[in-house]
């Protein structure tokens, strides 16, 4: 199955985030091992120093090596082999732990194996506060020693993870990013599927309509030429209504098909050089031919201007703007097309004398399928795709388009063309 660019980007993004999370977990694991080793080394050094001070106090030489033994991850024994003051041991433990930056709770016990009993025990918080020992049964007899003390760190594992807070925070953030990413991708895929179904539906329905409409037009044009129709004003009028409405419907279908086509792939523009004034004149002539009512269209161009743009699309957007102006201008449309140069840029304005647009609707008029809800314009035909098409073409040319209400009546649509696009 061939993957689309969209799917490839999604897969790469997903793999990248997962890869970063795996790398982060690997770093956390290594950091935990390093933190554990570092803490255990500090404990060994601290206990060795305590042992040296105890022997120094008693003016005896050190016994053989390996007097400090790690029994488990949080339990250590120290062979002393003679009795000593418990208060002195506690003082040395607290001072040496503090010197080695061991800010952890610990329990210690002095064990006399000859009498098989615990001689002394205590629990010291990280803040130096003394408490009763929490786990007396954790300290057991060691048959290898006669007299020893043991150190237990009940919360040492929590301390390891506490030191890794920054790693855990970053990893949590990455997991949240991954969840949000996956959720966003699911939504995008659903939206993409919905959009594709919508496009397919529009395309299929539009094509299904075009065939019978073409047949109606052919039949109507044939009927129009018959003597029975020519000689009967009423039948002639009705037949012409059929032709006009069929043409309108066909035009709407063409617009829908064009929008669906342009959305299914990237729209391309073919820039050529052409004179602007003839395009405006052609728009004016076709608009006047299209409507039976009297239309006043005034074109104001101060000089000959050559555009560097897509001629086909430029004609379409100008036709759409003038067509909209006529639709919303009532019974006596008066349209002005004003072309001027402002600050080394070309301005094309289309003004009308229509009903205007409510202020709340102005930000949305370029949205596809958006139509202003007003009682006075509810019978005006259209699907709300004309202005969205105009905006898209302007964006492709990198032109700016704005719409605003006139101070007196109607609206003005302004297209600002960059200096490099005209001469």
Question: Average of pLDDT values for 365-371?
Answer: 72
pLDDT bucket at 337, cuts 50 / 70 / 90: very high
pLDDT value of position 167 = 66
| Each residue's pLDDT tens digit, 14-44 | 777 777 777 777 777 777 777 778 778 888 8
CA count, 13 A, side-chain hemisphere, 344: 2
pLDDT bucket at 306, cuts 50 / 70 / 90: very high
The listed range with the strongest mean pLDDT (28-37, 41-50, 175-184, 308-317) is 308-317
pLDDT value of position 420 = 92
Residues 340, 347: Cα–Cα separation, whole Å: 5
- Residue 349, pLDDT > 90, answer yes
Task: Provide the whole-model pTM.
Answer: 0.48
pLDDT value of position 1 = 43
CA distances from 75 to 120, 133, 148, 337 (A): 17, 14, 13, 90
Give me the chain's average pLDDT, please. 78
pLDDT bucket at 275, cuts 50 / 70 / 90: very high
pLDDT value of position 207 = 62
Candidate from 204-213, 307-316, 358-367 with smallest mean pLDDT: 204-213
The listed range with the strongest mean pLDDT (52-66, 205-219, 253-267, 278-292) is 278-292
Rg, Å, the chain Cα set: 43
Question: Average of pLDDT values for 280-299?
Answer: 85
Count other C-beta atoms under 10 Å from residue 289's C-beta: 8
- Residue 346, pLDDT > 90, answer yes
- Residue 320, pLDDT > 60, answer yes
CB 411 within 8 A of CB 403: yes
> Is beta strand 272-275 parallel, antiparallel or unpaired with respect to 147-152?
unpaired
pLDDT bucket at 338, cuts 50 / 70 / 90: very high
Residues 369, 402: Cα–Cα separation, whole Å: 18
What is the CA angle 156-157-163, rounded to 5?
90
pLDDT bucket at 369, cuts 50 / 70 / 90: low
CB 281 within 8 A of CB 297: no
- For residue 224, give the 3-state DSSP assignment: helix
């Amino acid at each position: 199955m061939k993957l689309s660019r969209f799917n490839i980007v999604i897969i790469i993004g997903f793999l990248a985030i997962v890869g970063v999370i795996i790398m982060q977990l690997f770093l956390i694991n290594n950091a935990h091992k390093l933190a554990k080793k570092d803490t255990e080394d500090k404990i060994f050094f601290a206990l060795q120093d305590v042992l040296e001070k105890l022997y120094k106090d008693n003016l005896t030489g050190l016994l053989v090596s390996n007097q400090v033994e790690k029994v488990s991850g949080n339990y250590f024994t120290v062979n002393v082999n003679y009795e000593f003051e418990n208060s002195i041991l506690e003082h040395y433990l607290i001072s040496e732990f503090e010197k080695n930056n061991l800010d952890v709770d610990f329990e210690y016990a002095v064990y006399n194996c000859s009498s098989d009993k615990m001689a002394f025990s205590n629990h010291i918080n990280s803040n130096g506060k003394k408490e009763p020992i929490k786990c007396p049964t954790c300290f057991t007899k060691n048959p290898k020693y006669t007299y020893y003390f043991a150190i237990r760190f009940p919360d040492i594992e929590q301390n390891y993870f506490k030191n890794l807070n920054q790693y855990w925070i970053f990893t949590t953030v990455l997991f949240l990013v991954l969840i949000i990413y996956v959720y966003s991708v699911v939504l995008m895929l659903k939206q993409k599927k919905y959009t594709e179904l919508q496009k397919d539906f529009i395309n299929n329905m539009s094509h299904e309509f075009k065939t019978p409409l073409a047949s109606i037009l052919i039949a109507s044009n044939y009927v129009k030429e018959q003597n029975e129709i020519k000689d009967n004003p009423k039948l002639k009028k009705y037949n012409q209504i059929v032709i006009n409405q069929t043409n309108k419907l066909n035009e709407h279908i063409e617009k829908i098909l064009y929008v669906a086509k342009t959305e299914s792939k990237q729209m391309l523009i073919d820039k050529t050089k052409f004179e602007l004034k003839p395009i405006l004149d052609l728009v004016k002539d076709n608009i006047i031919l299209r409507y039976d009512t009297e239309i006043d269209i005034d074109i104001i161009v101060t000089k000959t201007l050559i555009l560097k743009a897509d001629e086909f699309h430029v004609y379409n957007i100008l036709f759409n703007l003038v067509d909209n102006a006529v639709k919303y201008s009532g019974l006596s449309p008066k349209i002005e097309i004003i072309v001027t140069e402002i600050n080394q840029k070309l301005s094309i304005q289309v003004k009308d004398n229509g009903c205007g647009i409510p202020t709340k609707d102005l930000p949305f008029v370029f949205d596809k399928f958006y139509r202003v809800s007003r009682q006075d314009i509810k019978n005006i035909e259209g699907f709300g795709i004309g202005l969205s098409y105009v905006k898209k073409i302007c964006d492709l040319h990198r032109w700016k388009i704005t719409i605003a209400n006139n101070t007196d009546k109607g609206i003005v649509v302004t297209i600002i063309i960059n200096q490099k696009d005209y001469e």
